[in-house]
Amino acid sequence: MLHRATTPIPADQGPALERPPVHLGLARRPRRNRKAEWARRLVRENVLTADDLIWPMFLVDGERRRDPVASMPGVYRFSVDEAVRAARRAFELEIPAVALFPYTDAALRDEGGSEAFNAENLVCRACRAIKAALPNLGVITDVALDPYTSHGHDGLLHGEEVLNDASVSALVDQALNQARAGADIVAPSDMMDGRVGAIRSALDDAGFDAVQIMSYAAKYASAFYGPFRDAIGTSAALRGDKRTYQMDIANGAEALREVALDIAEGADMIMVKPGLPYLDIVYRVKMEFGMPTFAYQVSGEYAMIAGAAANGWIDGRKAMLESLIAFKRAGADGILTYFAIEAAEHLRAG
């Protein structure tokens, strides 16, 4: 039996090695590019900046209100005056846009979601106030009826069926109401067939041809939406589930068909929702279509990271940044995230 000679390391240099260093003669050593922070920065493939972030904001009626959302640590519902103040912070951090979602009082909800068409509803008032104070901050409004319906569905309900074409007509009226309030981007999140084309046509006919459409083209019937529904008050209201119009979580090729339809109908930007569990879809959409592609780091994703960090189980800041860079690596041009302010503050601090 052959015995390899060993050269012990002196005691003051640590425990003895049983083998001397082996010179492998490798021409390629990937670790050379990782040896120092400056080297890692030089070869970094993806970079996260504030330009990549959109901040979803929850709204509530009243004045001087910042109501915490219990299932989303660090997230609040803002009254309109507080939403303007919060949006100003986003603007100072160079976040390009905010997205507005209302908590609608139960007394204002009905079967037809009529509050969605009220020019003085919470979203429209917040939109006007934010644009008046911060004209160069983008404002995105959600086109879906679920915050306004007594049954919690994104469209109109007849018995147990969510009606497609009647819902599209209502969504067109909602989008026009938001455009009149000054929305820069309307974002249909309802997943009704044909709604992007109908909204585009109506906006153009009404003189809102500059208003962009960010389509939730691939929105899955996910279990990760729970905290969001708490935040807008639809958890208790929802009758049944949304699987007849939101996508089956097992499907991938179907997402490409959905995206193709929305592009053909006039969508300016494409959304995949949720985010981290569907990075494969983000990648496939970006590679297939080359369109501006966005992903939504939804409430359940946020709550898992924030909750684990609050319990000391993970490093919250590092997990936040790792999750956000994952979207960039998958091909997303931007991310809707409740971490937007915290992430932008960290990026500014360096």
Catalytic residue positions, numbered: 219, 273
Task: Give the whole-angstrom CA distance, residue 255 versus residue 284.
Answer: 9
Amino acid symbol at 301: E
Determine the angle formed by the axes of helices 195-205 and 253-265, rounding to 10 degrees: 20
Task: Give the whole-angstrom CA distance, residue 181 versus residue 211.
Answer: 12
Task: Give the whole-angstrom CA distance, residue 102 versus residue 124.
Answer: 10
Which pair of tokens denotes residue 48? 């996260």
For 75-139, the DSSP string reads -EEE-HHHHHHHHHHHHHTT--EEEEEE---GGG-BTT-GGGG-TTSHHHHHHHHHHHH-TTSEE
Task: Give the whole-angstrom CA distance, residue 328 versus residue 96.
Answer: 16
Closest CA to 228 of 123, 143, 145, 299: 299
For 252-267, the DSSP string reads SHHHHHHHHHHHHHT-
Task: Give the whole-angstrom CA distance, residue 231 versus residue 264.
Answer: 33
Task: Give the whole-angstrom CA distance, residue 191 versus residue 213.
Answer: 14
Task: Give the whole-angstrom CA distance, residue 85 versus residue 65.
Answer: 11
